[in-house]
Amino acid sequence: MMKKDSTLLEIITYGHPVLKQKAQEIKNITEDIKNIAANMVYTMHSSPGIGLAAPQINQSIKLITADLSVGEKKEDLLVLINPEITFREGNKDMEEGCLSVPEINENVNRPAQIVLKGYDLNEKELEISAEGLLARVLCHEVDHINGILFIDHLSPLKKNLIKKKLKKRL
Ligand code: NI
């Protein structure tokens, strides 16, 4: 997965229109898609982050990566094509951040358990049951491909305060 010639990609931040778009379904897993995925993994690990979605690197396609071990455990790495959350149960509050919303951390309510369906880079269909932090990361990244940021889950009051803070920094 991690090739020697991997490229560090630029992560777009709050205010960029692509972050608000619904991403396109991937119809063919081309060499191009595989390269983007490899560069996303490299960029996620380098940032460092535990998840990344293609819209964050200015590619409006349904592709996400996640790795709770941040490169420490090979088996933790997930690269998911056209991911969809098909089951949600329970809910939990936890502090969250996002590489596209720098320096903002807020409590977000998310399902405690989920099932995600999608494909890997070999077009193998996957069904992943997740709970805790992994469930949270996967929900966060699937939100990205639907044009939703974690701050969109906050109350309008809180969201407005954060927006003002972010706009001041632009
Ligand atoms: Ni994010």
In whole angstroms, what is the distance from residue 161 CA to residue 59 CA? 28
User: For position 170, what pLDDT does the model report?
Assistant: 67
Position 3 scores a pLDDT of: 52
pTM of the full structure: 0.94
Question: Which amino acid belongs to residue 18?
Answer: V
> How far is ligand 1, taken at its centre, from the CA of residue 151, in Å?
10
The stretch 36-59 carries a mean pLDDT of: 97
Taking the centre of ligand 1 as the mean of its atom positions, its distance from the CA of residue 169, in whole angstroms, is 18
Q: How many CB atoms lie within 10 A of CB 87?
A: 12
Assigned CATH topology for domain 17-169: Peptide Deformylase (3.90.45)
Segments making up each domain of the chain, as ranges: 17-169
What distance in angstroms lies between residue 51's CA and the mean position of ligand 1's atoms?
7
Q: In the chain, pLDDT over 90 holds for what percent of residues?
A: 92
pLDDT, tens digit (0-9, with 9 covering 90-100), for 114-145: 999 999 999 999 999 999 999 999 999 999 99
CB 39 within 8 A of CB 31: no
- Residues with catalytic roles: 141
What's residue 137's pLDDT?
98
